[in-house]
Structure 1
Amino acid sequence: MKKFLISYSWLVLLFLYLPMMVLIAYSFNDSRINAEWKGFTLHWYSDVLQNPDVLSAFVNSLLIALVTTLVATVLGTLFALALHRYTYRFKGALDGLVYLPILVPDILMGLSLLILFSQIGLELGKTTIIIAHITFSISFVVVIVSARLASMGKELEEAANDLGASPWQTFRYVTLPSLMPGVISAALLTFTLSIDDFVISFFVSGPGSTTLPLYIYSMVKRGVTPEINALSTILIVIIIALMLLSQVFQKDKRGRLPL
């Protein structure tokens, strides 16, 4: 039974990652036709990195992801602290609403935000994308930071209070350092979600705000070429690196996940 389950797990992983492995392999193919292999080359990456449209889309994605990460991490961390420390009316309902953006399909959230922006007369562009990304990212920050808070306990904070520390000193020198691995992990995950988002960005983007996933989609409509493979590989590597960093920071000092 054990061997069967292990073999089954490897087959599932192969099924999930084989398409990406093929895409990455053909990004080094010295042929414009993906159906045949003509040798190893790096010139598709050179072509992509010298394309001004690609660089513009990458800068847009980077700027949007950085602003989204900063704002969503701060707001989500404060939200998680409030949910963890205080008891108030309708707390259960509020806890449930926090998870709603995670459960709602992206296409519905994108459409609802588009309607909202059109109703209030906000011009579509980088600002609307940032607002949209912050909206769905806060929930992920709250979930990760709340998990870290649940694993911390209150002993250190109580000891600091007993020693005469003010609430601000306790938060600055005790709570925040203990919470920082979860905060950094949430920030990295938020950055990954923002730079990788396509569906919501598709609805709320405007002129001059094309992100990297949107640019890749526009290229795919003209046919899959080695440049698309190279650009997709770069995006995959960035996302995998951020996800690995996120997992590292989620671990506590004993190397166990607090989730």
Structure 2
Amino acid sequence: MSAPSARPAHRRTGRWPWRLGLAAAAVYVFLYAPILWLALVSFNDSRTVSTFTGFSLRWYGELVRDERVLSALLLSLRLAAVSAVLATVIGTLAAFGLRRAFRGRGLWTTLLALPLVVPEVVLGVSLLAFCVVLLGVPFGFGALLLAHVTFSLSYVVVVVRARLAGLDPRVEEAAADLGAGPFTRWRTVTLPLIAPAIGAGGAFAFVLSFDDVVTSGYLTGVGSTTLPVFVYGQARRGVSPEIVALSTAMVTASAVVLLIGVGVTVWRARRAGAASVLGSPS
């Protein structure tokens, strides 16, 4: 009696790869087609957005000469930089604190994650009541800074905690066996290993602060209008070529910051991996 023929090792996938690829392409088109259209229209020489008459940098030149745009841009950059630094420092310390087991850690973890799921409108109203009504902070840079640190802090904690959870505890134990104290272990071992995560969290905090419009709209005061709030206010009057060019510049700047942050994170991670391979005994 002959033995049964062996089945092929591979599975028949049929048309699924083609269909999945088409679905993925449709998702990317849905996400990025409006941005590409926005970038194309920003180089339109016509004042009417719907009519294309030729390529020109005219509207970008108008932005450079607009004092309102420059003032809002400088405020947004300063606010994003300061809030990103504060959120990164506080978020990193909070991630280290939540690394250890203690009573109530689950509650604190939930509280830190709330800004990730709470709607921005609710968050803006609550920060308005807390910063302005309860603490008495006037509308303007101070209230904006407190609000931006509050909602960007959670992202830093999540990123840094994920990296801390992936650390091999034997590395710190080996440093302790060699006589390194707690601070020396933290400075020479732990901190370099989580530096890419800290940088990524800081980049996220910067972009979130720079692009925020909902929360900032509740706390903006006279002379302290951020760039996204300015764009929103101008867009309510009608979509003009200047606003299209400004929106394109903001999207490009945010993408560049994120790409730089991700690139530095990947480079440092690969460098650390290569160093560990070279340093391991053969």
Q: Same fold (TM over 0.5)?
A: yes
Distance 2:42 2:96 in 1: 45
What aligned pairs does 1:67-86 form with structure 2 within 5 A after superposition?
A: 67-84=82-99, 86=100
Q: CA deviation at 1:219?
A: 1.2
What aligned pairs does 1:1-259 form with structure 2 within 5 A after superposition?
A: 1-84=16-99, 86-116=100-130, 117-251=132-266, 252-253=269-270
Q: CA deviation at 1:244?
A: 1.7
**When the two structures are aligned, how many residues end up with a matched partner?**
255
Q: CA deviation at 1:43?
A: 1.2
Q: Which residue identity lines up with residue 162 of structure 2 in the other structure?
A: A
Q: CA deviation at 1:249?
A: 4.0
Distance 2:272 2:231 in 1: 38
Q: CA deviation at 1:215?
A: 0.8
- Residues 194-203 or 15-24, more deviating: 15-24
Q: CA deviation at 1:96?
A: 1.6
Distance 1:99 1:248 in 2: 26
Partner secondary structure for residue 59 of structure 1 = helix
Q: Which residue identity lines up with residue 97 of structure 1 in the other structure?
A: L
Distance 1:141 1:99 in 2: 11
Q: Deviations 1:130-186 (Å, cap 9, x if unpaired)?
A: 100000111100000011111222122111111111111111111111110000000
Q: CA deviation at 1:209?
A: 1.0
Q: CA deviation at 1:250?
A: 4.2
Partner secondary structure for residue 51 of structure 2 = coil
Partner secondary structure for residue 41 of structure 1 = coil
- TM-score, normalised to structure 2, is 0.87
Q: Which residue identity lines up with residue 95 of structure 1 in the other structure?
A: T
Distance 1:133 1:192 in 2: 11
Q: CA deviation at 1:245?
A: 2.4
Q: CA deviation at 1:254?
A: 7.6
Q: CA RMSD in A?
A: 1.4
Distance 2:151 2:74 in 1: 21
Q: Which residue identity lines up with residue 123 of structure 1 in the other structure?
A: P
Q: CA deviation at 1:220?
A: 0.8
Asked if the contact 1:124–1:204 (Cα under 8 Å) also holds between the matched residues in 2, the reply is yes
Q: CA deviation at 1:90?
A: 1.3
Q: Which residue identity lines up with residue 84 of structure 2 in the other structure?
A: T
Distance 2:229 2:34 in 1: 20
Q: Which residue identity lines up with residue 93 of structure 1 in the other structure?
A: L
Q: Which residue identity lines up with residue 103 of structure 1 in the other structure?
A: V
Q: Which residue identity lines up with residue 203 of structure 1 in the other structure?
A: Y
Distance 1:232 1:94 in 2: 37
Q: % of aligned pairs identical? A: 40
- TM-score, normalised to structure 1, is 0.95
Q: Deviations 1:95-128 (Å, cap 9, x if unpaired)?
A: 2222111100010010011112223322110110
